[in-house]
Amino acid sequence: MELTVVGCGYVGLVTAACFADLGNRVIGVDVDAVRVQALKKGRIPIYEPGLEEIVRRNIKDGRLTFQTSLADAVRASRIIFIAVGTPPAADGDVDLTAVRMVAAEIGKSLNGDKIIVNKSTVPVGMADAVGDMAQKSARGKKHKVRVVSNPEFLREGTAVTDFMHPDRVVVGSSDKRAAEAVADLYRPLDAHVIVTDVRSAEMIKYASNAFLATKISFINEIASLCEKLGADVAAVANGMGKDKRIGREFLYAGVGFGGSCLPKDVAALRRAVEKAGLTPRLLAAVLEVNESQRRSVVEKLSDGLGKLAGKTVAVLGLAFKPSTDDLREAVSQTVLPQLIRAGAKVRAYDPAANEGSKRNHPQAVYCKSALDAAKGAHAAVVLTEWNEFVELDLVKLRGVMAGQKPVLVDGRNVYDPDKAKAAGFTYRGVGRG
Ligand code: NAD
């Protein structure tokens, strides 16, 4: 099958590469000419384990190509996936500029009937709007455009595995044949394909992300109470998680959720509730709890250090989660400027995201390793649970730091509090007594 995937970012590139690996001929299209040039040479612009190998293999075998011309790609394909970014707009709504541009361009380039697949996360009703936009810009051409919603649930860091072994594939359309054509693409995966009407498919994506965010904010609120009452939230979450109705996943207390999806998708859903004339009580609370968790990082550092001015703080972990270089809505990106404004000297390290963070916050010193970052620091704070931080030798870490009893803010609860204290730290986890 000839496919086009528009947008070669975290989702589009994985989609293009994996569908090519499943035997389709795929054209990846992106407006970013530099990105396309690099991709043509098999160099991927993001950190995503396992992806580069698949991209290279499929370029070599002639199934995967990249280009900037959407018009040519549309003419060569029957199915066109839209996987461009849908960033947050200032009012919490979704910025749909890129999706609209692509829809209009597809319409202009029609040379036959096409199926447009919305893989970008877009508000309920957008599939209908994309169809209208494409049809309108087709200016009287007789070709038919059918739109399918096929939201993506992959996680950065495990994107390839998630794509190839999905918990479910959601396909929504008002056109049965279009839905079947898209479902067929996933047949080699032996996946559980859920076919729904188009608006339910769009809602499934938002509702799923909002539910995951709710679990995180719920356990974070419990964590705050545990801190006051002397309970350990990790033990509480274990005890809760054994109940199959609850489950352990996403019940990890920490410094809050970030990334390109949860914050923006919950905000967009809250906005959708408001626009529908309803009151988003729960969603507003989920975001509010998350904000207070993010603020707690600097509060805990100030508690431990007193004045931050003149103190050196090692920030371990910048990406919003391990195994990615993605800094969108990462906690680090609000903590770094707060610390710098307060007069602290920041020494930061992330295995994959140093470069990106340096562009955003050049005032911090970027280091080669956790131990390097901790050199001479009065406090260390772990914001991302990369394995190399989880496995750090705390005695060694303590050894390179300054002061009698440096502060360790364990923003992801990765250390045993007793071991951290025994290593000589003033330890502050999240929700631990
Ligand atoms: P991204 O920013 O990594 O990639 C978007 C790509 O689209 C960029 O390469 C950009 O240059 C390109 N682009 C923008 N406008 C374009 C245009 N007019 N024509 C062609 N290319 C264009 O974004 P992403 O993280 O891959 O997210 C894409 C969509 O998938 C979003 O709606 C997001 O919410 C959703 N999503 C993301 C994830 C994730 O983990 N990142 C998971 C599930 C769903």
Q: What is the pLDDT of residues 78-137, one digit of tens each?
A: 999 999 999 999 888 999 999 999 999 999 999 999 999 999 999 999 999 999 999 999
Identify whether 333 is part of a domain.
yes
Q: Is residue 430 scored above 90 in pLDDT?
A: yes
Site to substitute for ligand 1 among 84, 153, 202, 269, most atoms within 8 A of C-beta: 84
Smallest Cα–Cα separation from 117: which of 264, 7, 271, 259?
7
| Tens digits of residue pLDDT in 344-395 | 999 999 999 999 999 999 999 999 999 999 999 999 999 999 999 999 999 9
Ligand 1 lining (C-beta closer than 6 Å): 6-12, 29-32, 35, 83-86, 98, 101-102, 120-121, 152, 154, 156, 260-261
Identify whether 202 is part of a domain.
no
| Tens digits of residue pLDDT in 220-279 | 999 999 999 999 999 999 999 999 999 999 999 999 999 999 999 999 999 999 999 999
**Residues acting as catalytic residues:** 261
Indicate which residue's Cα is closest to atom 41 of ligand 1.
10
Identify whether 307 is part of a domain.
yes
Residues 172 and 35 grouped into a single domain: yes
Q: Is residue 415 scored above 90 in pLDDT?
A: yes
Whether 151 and 2 have beta carbons less than 8 Å apart is answered as: no
Identify whether 237 is part of a domain.
no
Identify whether 222 is part of a domain.
no
Smallest Cα–Cα separation from 120: which of 87, 162, 142, 79?
87
Residues 320 and 182 grouped into a single domain: no
Domains: count for the chain: 2
Residues 273 and 417 grouped into a single domain: yes
Identify whether 234 is part of a domain.
no
Q: Domain range for residue 382?
A: 262-428
Residues 21 and 104 grouped into a single domain: yes
∠ CA 289-295-300, nearest 5°, is 120
Identify whether 380 is part of a domain.
yes
Cα(388) to centroid(ligand 1), Å: 29
Whole-angstrom distance, CA of residue 123 vs CA of residue 199: 9
Residues 295 and 175 grouped into a single domain: no
Residues 165 and 292 grouped into a single domain: no
Residues 142 and 273 grouped into a single domain: no
Q: Is residue 1 scored above 80 in pLDDT?
A: no
Percent of the chain clearing pLDDT 70 (strictly above):
100
Last residue of one domain, picked from the residues 146, 174, 190: 190
Q: Is residue 140 scored above 90 in pLDDT?
A: no
Identify whether 231 is part of a domain.
no
The CATH number assigned to the domain holding 392 equals 3.40.50.720
Task: Ligand 1, residue 86: give the atom nearest the CA.
Answer: 32
Beta-strand relationship, 145-149 and 114-118: parallel
Q: Is residue 433 scored above 80 in pLDDT?
A: no
Indicate which residue's Cα is closest to atom 23 of ligand 1.
85
pLDDT confidence of residue 91:
84
Last residue of one domain, picked from the residues 190, 220, 242: 190
Last residue of one domain, picked from the residues 190, 209, 225: 190
Q: pTM, whole model, 2 decimals?
A: 0.96
